[in-house]
Amino acid sequence: MEKRIGIELPMAGELKIFIMTAKFQYIIQLYLRTALAAAYLKLGLDRLGALGSYGHSFVSWGDWKHFMEYARQVMSFLPSAVIPVFAVMATIAEILFGILLLIGFCTRLAAAGSGILAFLFAVAMAVSNGIQDPLGYSVFTVSAASFLLATIPVYKWSIDDKLKNSIHKH
């Protein structure tokens, strides 16, 4: 018999819905991991022009110049000399976190790091443009999802899981 975990919600006609089962936890963590990875890779690669040039469909910046215009706006409260440094660091971190989350290597560290990065970005957006921007673009949600991913005990279908299993076999 399958063990069910989660929250039981009373519905009309005494219908009970179980939110999550143990069977689906692995699929949900994989979905969360790949969704976050895709978002970080899209953002990081976009500003390098890897997804097309500025003005094309599904391209936000398309090059470093357009990204830096946005970065200067979001980090306008900082000394102008540090903005390019933080922009480079954020870009490297987003691409690195995206790759690590996608392949499932150092997953907990990548998830926690990406949670911190997204949180800092959300705060910078709120300071510069008002709270509506990070809420409207779900940046706090991305940060929270990253932190939640960092708390998951097992990353099935990951390099971490393969390494863990190979260590336990020997």
All structural domains of the chain with their residue ranges = 22-169
Structure tokens at 8: 């039981």
Q: Let me know how long the chain is.
A: 170
| Count of other CB atoms within 10 angstroms of residue 133 | 15
Interatomic CA distance for residues 91 and 161, integer angstroms: 27
Q: What is residue 134's three-state secondary structure?
A: helix
Output phi, psi for 5, to 5 deg: -130, 160
How does pLDDT run across 95-151, given as a tens digit for each residue? 999 999 999 999 999 999 999 999 999 999 999 999 999 999 999 999 999 999 999
User: Computed over its alpha carbons, how large is the radius of gyration of the chain?
Assistant: 19
Is residue 160 within 8 A of residue 105, CB to CB? The reply is yes
Express each pLDDT in 48-106 by its tens digit: 999 999 999 999 999 999 999 999 999 999 999 999 999 999 999 999 999 999 999 99
For residue 163, what is the enclosing H or E element? helix 159-169
What are the φ/ψ torsions at residue 134 (nearest 5 degrees)? -65, -30
